[in-house]
Amino acid sequence: MNDSSHNRTLPSSTTVANPPFVWVPSSETRGTFQIFSLCASTTVICIWSAVHRDIPPKRLNGLPSYTLQATWVFAALFLPEFVFVYALKQFLDARQSLIDHDTKAGEASPFTLVHAFYAMTGGYAFGVDAPTDESSDEKRIRAIITPAGVRYLMDHDPDLTPDFSELSIQARSKSNGLNKALLVFQLLWFCTSCISRLASHLPLTLLEVVTAAHGLCTLATYAAWWHKPLNVEEPTLIIGEHAREAYAFLRMAANRYAISDEELENLSKEYMVLNAPTETESMIKTMLNLLGEVVGAASISSYVEISIADSSVLTLLTAMYGLVHLSGWNAQFPTTMERILWRIATVGICSCGACFSVSIKTIALLQNIEWPNKALEFFGNFVSIFLNIAVLLIFPFYLLSTLYILVESIRKLFFLPPNAFVVASWSNYFPHFS
pLDDT for 195: 86
C-alpha to C-alpha distance for 293 and 297, rounded to whole angstroms:
5
C-alpha to C-alpha distance for 394 and 381, rounded to whole angstroms:
20
pLDDT in tens, 354-394: 888 888 888 888 888 888 888 888 888 888 889 888 888 88
Burial, 321: exposed, middle or buried (Cβ in 10 Å; 0-12, 13-18, 19+)? buried
Q: Which residue ranges make up each domain of the chain?
A: 307-412
Band of pLDDT at residue 177, cut at 50, 70 and 90: low
Average pLDDT, whole number, for the chain? 73
Instruction: Report whether pLDDT(216) > 70.
Output: yes
Average pLDDT over residues 278-299: 42
Band of pLDDT at residue 433, cut at 50, 70 and 90: low
pLDDT for 280: 40
Average pLDDT over residues 127-139: 52
Instruction: Report whether pLDDT(290) > 50.
Output: no
CB 332 within 8 A of CB 213: no
C-alpha to C-alpha distance for 403 and 121, rounded to whole angstroms:
30
Q: For residue 126, what are the β-bridge partners?
A: 143, 238
pLDDT for 261: 45
Q: How many CB atoms lie under 10 A from the CB of residue 87?
A: 23
Band of pLDDT at residue 1, cut at 50, 70 and 90: very low
C-alpha to C-alpha distance for 77 and 374, rounded to whole angstroms:
48
Instruction: Report whether pLDDT(345) > 90.
Output: yes
C-alpha to C-alpha distance for 113 and 173, rounded to whole angstroms:
14
pLDDT for 296: 38
Band of pLDDT at residue 302, cut at 50, 70 and 90: very low
pLDDT for 269: 38
pLDDT for 140: 57
